[in-house]
Copies of this chain bind each other. A is one copy, B any other.
Amino acid sequence: MKKVAIVGFGTVGVGVAEILERNRASIAKKAGEELELAYVVDLRDMPDSPFADKMVKDFALVENDPEVSIVVEAIGGCGAALQFVTRSLQAGKSVVTSNKQLVAEHGKELIRLAKENSCNFLFEASVGGGIPLLHPLNRCLAGNVMQDVVGILNGTTNYILTQMLEEGADYGDALKCAQELGYAEANPAADVEGIDAGRKVCILSDLAFGKNVSPEKVSMQGITKIEAVDAKFAESAGMKIKLFGRACIRDGKQYAFVSPYFVPESYLLAHVSDVFNAVSVKGSDVGEAIFYGPGAGRYPTASAVVGDIIDIAANPGRVQPAWWEEEEAELADPAGFRTPFFFRTKEDRAQAEAKLGCAVRWLPEQFGWNGGLVECSSPAKMQASGLEMGACWPVYNG
């Protein structure tokens, strides 16, 4: 019998408690022993919760109970969460979390702390929600030298982009719709500005390339500058617009950034709609593997958290391996990242080709804009061309 405590009883915390209860028998089989929810820590009173008898307000009860070996952090942010995670690990208790901000900003020191205290700090749910992703990347594909990790890491923005493309909605209406459905928060900045995806890119980069990437080093461009006309151009060119997070090694340089991409329909990632996430992982030997699924939501996220709990219970005595070095990775400026581009302009084809110094695949005019595709360029080169552009987005080419 292993005792588990949940700290923070919101969306994810409740989901974890419910799964531990509902799937108790099958979980015990996989974990090798029964898992018992011993405490739920939350400052709020919840007398009507089915877990009311487990609820306490004082984290010290968990910290000082030697029988609790696994703590689920479900508070969010880097305030109380960081404090309670730190104290749990110092007390030799393994911690599981879905808190991407915590992992992106403090993962390296928390992994060290886990190692020093012979316990584990696991966070499968922090990227891709319910999708098994970090574990496969870090373990199943461990024989590979990693090359590229790229994908749709934020469900809210993918929902908005899907609405813009399929329903012809413009950005403001699609955002409003996402807010009404509860997919986007009243203040959507973390999602639409690419900050959430950026934190996940840090974690993916840490694991794939072995050195720490801090969120402030990651170039994050969100979807707020995408207009309905861009979606029209994408459609006319047989593409979709997706917000990609990307961590990769290209021409010997390491990159980590978030950017909208035009994605040709020949790529599976173009077919990932609504709130779903998908990540493509390229390695020296596997070639390409893609992981798809629900990137958020109570039960999918809790499913990943419970998977980590079971992993800890099923491997008693395992000491956390050092997953990445604390040394900060040297990132190249994404302005130099070579890729094909889409752009739209009021100038004509001859002007565009002259300024860009290369042939352009010209697209049918949309809403008074001319659109074009260039084979290979970089953000810096596009900008330096002097071509006046209403928008300029990279085109995914694998």
Contacts and interface: CB of A to CB of B under 8 A. Distances in A.
A304 to B, nearest CB: 7
Given A23-B143, A145-B23, A292-B289, A283 B311 contact: no
A321 interface: yes
B314 A321 contact: yes
Interface stretch (A25-33, A186-194, A366-374): A25-33
A132 interface: yes
Given A136-B135, A268-B272, A285-B300, A142 B30 contact: yes
Tell me the number of copies of this protein: 2
A318 B318 contact: yes
Contacts of A29: 210
A141 B307 contact: yes
A2 interface: no
Interface string A126-156: 0000111001101111111100000000000
A109 interface: no
A19 B311 contact: no
A300 B288 CA distance: 9
Contact of A286 (B26, B145, B303, B315): B303
A310 interface: yes
A271 interface: yes
A131 B290 CA distance: 8
For the complex of A and B, list the 9 residue pairs with the smallest distance between their C-beta atoms, beginning with the closest: A143-B306, A132-B140, A132-B136, A289-B293, A285-B303, A290-B292, A30-B142, A285-B299, A130-B286
